[in-house]
Structure 1
Amino acid sequence: MPKEGIAATPFHLMYGGEAVVPVEVGVESDRLQHYDEDNAERRLLELDLADESRARAAIRLMAYRQRMKQNYNRRVIPRSFQVGDLVWKKVKSVGDITKLETPWVGPFKVVEKLRSGAYYLEDEGGRRLERLRSANHLQPYRVR
């Protein structure tokens, strides 16, 4: 069993002990010199505690995932548009687009909103764009 405060390695979670490096087998390391053949009882106790060790690792993993989710969600900018809103559409970089060219074109009018967060757009001439656009690739149209 690892000492308190030290995270269990995947090897320890699987086999209930730490791995012996092949170099340690050929060279008399401190761990091999002090190895006791009567460790069978201690090993059985460690195997009994393996489930507890795995459960603690699973709890730490859940807490880590929760922190990751909160950190990600803190930076997400939710975007929602209504029918009739004017929006900018992101330009896909094709060919020789330079960094000085604008990444947004528009304005486009939102014609239809789907539940999935996708939108059908219409250009200034009243022509409906064939492809759906995700809210991730749209920005509100604001005139400054």
Structure 2
Amino acid sequence: MNQSIVEGINARLGRYGRNWLEEFPSFLWAIRTTENTSHGKTAYSIIFGSEAIIPAEIGVNSKRVRNINEESNDSEVLLNLDPLKEAREQAVIEEARYKKKLEAFYNTRVRKEVFKLRDLVLSNNEAIRQFDTRKLGPKWEGPYVIKEAHSGGSYKLNDMEGKKVPHHWSGMHIRKFIV
């Protein structure tokens, strides 16, 4: 969400973002009234149970603006509360389904490698930031020796002198050391 706000500020006001505070409510309004990709609903509709009337629509004589009855509006909003709970639960289910699809898509490109005991490997320093590498520092550390292999693809490592390396290492954060 923060990234979306920063991108909106940069797009609208340029890199330096002068007067961003005056524009901030319009960024939030845009985020709250934009459909979420994962479940197809806006944040506003999930919270209030109906779509927002955008400020530009108020000045225009649209059907939604003409049909507002302020006296019965409160009772109509209360009628939306029961279906609203169901809509929120459905949005959570849809979002979970979307994330599962996204995960499956990205995992098709992941090459799973199974390591055996005593294999020599390098560990990805960026994964845990064990060492301060700065910009031009090494991305891989090692070599290390696989000491234990656990189910689910995690490993315990020792350095070349036999000293334990902290953390469990995922197979995604180590790679085979080729001499």
Whether the TM-score (by the shorter chain) exceeds 0.5 is: yes
Query: Which bracket does the TM-score occupy, shorter chain normalised?
Result: 0.5 to 0.7
**RMSD of the TM alignment (CA)?**
4.0
1:12 aligned residue = 45
Distance 2:135 2:41 in 1: 52
Q: What residue is the counterpart of 1:117 in the other structure? A: 155
8 A contact 2:115–2:146 mirrored in 1? no
Q: CA deviation digits over 1:43-98, x for unaligned, max 9? A: 55544422332232222112112112222332333334333323456687947959
Gaps (5+ residues) in structure 1? 1-5
Aligned residue-pair number? 129
Q: 1:94 to 1:13 in 2, by over 3 A?
A: closer
Change (3 A) 1:129 1:77: farther
Relative contact order higher in (CA < 8 Å, ≥ 6 apart): 1
AA of the residue aligned to 2:116: Q
Question: Letter of the aligned partner of 2:61 in structure 1?
Answer: S
Q: Which structure is higher in helix share? A: 2
TM-score, scaled relative to structure 2: 0.48
For the 8 Å contact 1:84–1:110, the answer to whether it is kept is yes
Q: Which residues of 2 match residues 1-144 of structure 1 at below 5 A?
A: 7-25=40-58, 27-30=59-62, 31-36=64-69, 43=77, 45-88=79-122, 94=133, 108=143, 110=145, 112-113=147-148, 115=150, 116-122=154-160, 127-128=161-162, 131-132=165-166, 134=169, 135-142=171-178
Q: Among all aligned residue pairs of Structure 1 and Structure 2, give the percentage whose two residues are the same amino acid.
A: 24
